[in-house]
Amino acid sequence: MQVKPELTRLVFEKSQLKEEVYRATRESFDIFRDITQKINTRFEEQKRSQQSNVRFEFADRGDFEFQISFGGDILLFMMHSNIFAFSRDHQVMKTPYIREDSTRSYCGVIHIYNFLADSFIYQRDNDLGYLIGRVFINRERHYFIEGKRELGMLYNNFNTSVIETGTVQSIIESAIEYTTNFDLLTPPYDEVKMVSVGEMRATMDKKSIVTGKRLGFRFQSDTD
């Protein structure tokens, strides 16, 4: 039995491309991990010199995940194990950089989430986290970021931006700055002034009050 040469070439070329993208993303993720650890160490040094009680902690959660805790917040960095392509309508596909070589549009992704530290400490499983940025990295280690404010505006030049130690530090510091300024808002009084006995029992039994920075806090039934 013969396999069409075109099919063989397609499978091998696409698989090789995805492997190169995965390797570049994994190496970049390791840089993110290393720089985050160093930033946490620097925070700890400053904490001791200022005799502060502010909490700083780095936690490695496996090959594809790590987090840094500071004050009342957690930044969770998560690398997806798969490789993605962009739709034809995506703005990246219209850049000269991609038009010169369409294989540059294949990217790995690192997600950056913000959670309240108390959500994990008190096991409030219904609390919400926010995706504040996702970093797309191709086989040439070029990257761009879709994200909130500083992240989305400062790091969106796919053509020239390349992952390296200095840029990774800037990305992480921008994420920390955004998170620190992203405050937990209290909800309007009229939205939480009444609660049924059943809701209160559920809250005591299952920690079902949902909390998020732009949600404030409210009972689960308020979302229905």
Q: d(Cα 84, Cα 2) in Å, to the nearest integer?
A: 31
8 A C-beta contact, residue 97 and residue 122: no
The reply to whether 47 and 60 lie within a common domain is yes
The reply to whether 196 and 151 lie within a common domain is no
**How do 73-79 and 216-219 pair as beta strands?**
unpaired
8 A C-beta contact, residue 113 and residue 130: yes
Q: What is the pLDDT of residue 212?
A: 65
Q: What is the pLDDT of residue 31?
A: 98
8 A C-beta contact, residue 105 and residue 98: yes
Residues whose CB is less than 8 angstroms from the CB of residue 7 and which lie 6 or more positions away in sequence, other chains included: none
Written as six digits, the tokens of 57 are 């902690």
The reply to whether 120 and 50 lie within a common domain is yes
Q: What is the pLDDT of residue 200?
A: 65
* Distant-in-sequence contacts of 145-152, Cβ < 8 A, 24+ apart: 145/171, 147/112, 148/178, 148/182, 149/178, 150/174, 150/177, 150/178, 151/112, 151/175, 151/178
Total count of domains within the chain: 2
The reply to whether 45 and 131 lie within a common domain is yes
pLDDT tens per residue across span 116-155: 988 888 887 878 889 999 999 999 999 999 887 666 655 6
Give me the helix-helix angle, 165-181 and 5-49, nearest 10°.
Answer: 60
The reply to whether 177 and 96 lie within a common domain is yes
Reference 220, options 130, 126, 128, 124; nearest CA is: 126
Q: What is the pLDDT of residue 138?
A: 97
The reply to whether 191 and 214 lie within a common domain is yes
Q: What does pLDDT average to over the chain?
A: 85
Q: What is the pLDDT of residue 182?
A: 82
Positions in the chain whose pLDDT score sits under 70: 149-155, 185, 187, 191-193, 196-224
Cα-based distances in Å from 186 to 139, 181, 192, 207:
44, 15, 10, 18
The reply to whether 38 and 146 lie within a common domain is yes
- Domain coverage including residue 139: 5-182
The reply to whether 46 and 95 lie within a common domain is yes
pTM of the model: 0.84
3-state secondary structure of 58: strand
The reply to whether 188 and 118 lie within a common domain is no
The reply to whether 105 and 195 lie within a common domain is no
Q: What is the pLDDT of residue 214?
A: 59
The reply to whether 135 and 149 lie within a common domain is yes
